[in-house]
Amino acid sequence: MTSTLLDLNSPHLGFGSSTRSTSKLTPFKRSNHCPICDSNDGRCSKGDEIILCLTETYDVGIINGYKLRKLSKDNNWGVWAPHSVDDNYNSVNWQTRKAIRDQQADEERRQRIAKELPIDQRDHLYRKLLSDLSLCSMDQGDLDRRGMSQSEIKGFNAVSVGQFQRVQNLSSDLPGVLPGGILNSQGGYLWPLYDVHGQIVALQLRKRNVHQDNRYIWLSSSTRRHPDGNGPHVNGEIPLAVYKSFGPYSRIGLVEGTGIKPFLTSTRLNIPVIGAAGGHVGLIS
């Protein structure tokens, strides 16, 4: 069985002034399920007398004989301890809690999807946005360096933006637009993602000056201050990028990534290509 040693006095877990300096935490895996949320993917773990549950972080009463004591210092885990006292007020089992959580998640998903701007309006507004902007020589040079010809650069349809780029007459329901007529953008360039009907469903942005690991972002209206802003999702999913060449074809390309790679594959091989973001499943805005 795998186990992890964690320093319980570390600010990470925040067990305060425990006399024990370390305690063994065993992640719940395989047939060993978290008694609070039933997960077994290693996200929750068991200590000597406590359960660290990543799913349940609110005091919702007694679950399977455990009660929430506190949160870990980073607020990520609920720290649950056995509840031995007789008063089993509000006692529920994990099945009931899971059903409630699933129901809440379903409802939140339904509401998010209901708020999405319809595709034909996104297409219309994104085309307007792209036509109002142009590609600066610095970004043009970047695409040059990546081996794109002038006609390929033109076909890719990228435009340069500044940080919090001002835009006009765009609905703040359009993913990427913030109240007050600005884009939730950083300095870099944007390009359109098309669906299978050739309609623009989302924009992606390549930042100019950042660390490599988060150079690409989806244009989204969801921010810390506006957490309810629309993300790039289509029917609750991160969109695919469909690049279609004309003419009869007998093959379709599948490429990881939603930008230059699938675009050039389609253009140069003259086949339709579907690009999907890496880590496609489970991305939440």
**Residue 25 binds Zn ion (CB under 5 A):** no
Between 34 and 200, CB nearer to Zn ion = 34
User: Whose Cβ is closer to Zn ion: residue 52's or residue 190's?
Assistant: 52
**d(C-alpha 13, C-alpha 34), whole Å:** 18
Q: Residue 25 or residue 34: which is nearer to Zn ion going by CB? A: 34
* Residues in contact with 109: Cβ distance below 8 Å, sequence separation at least 6, in sequence order: 236
Which residue, 8 or 52, has its beta carbon nearer to Zn ion?
52
**Residue 217 found at the interface with Zn ion (CB under 5 A):** no
37 binds Zn ion (CB under 5 A): yes
Please choose, from the candidates 181, 180, 200, the residue with its C-alpha nearest in 3D space to the C-alpha of residue 192. 200
User: Residues 41-60 vs Zn ion: string with x where CB under 5 A?
Assistant: ---x--------x-x-----
Cβ neighbours for 9, distance < 8 A, ≥ 6 positions apart: 15, 16, 17, 18, 21
Question: Cα separations (Å) of 259 from 34, 135, 143, 179, 185?
Answer: 40, 16, 12, 27, 17
What are the respective helix, strand and coil percentages of the chain, to the nearest 5?
Answer: 25, 25, 50
Of the pair 14, 253, the CB lying nearest Zn ion is at 14
Among 34, 190, 203, 273, binds Zn ion (CB under 5 A): 34
Stretch that binds Zn ion, among 8-16, 36-44, 114-122, 195-203 (CB under 5 A): 36-44
**How many residues form the binding site for Zn ion (CB under 5 A)?**
6
Residues that bind Zn ion (CB under 5 A): 34, 36-37, 44, 53, 55
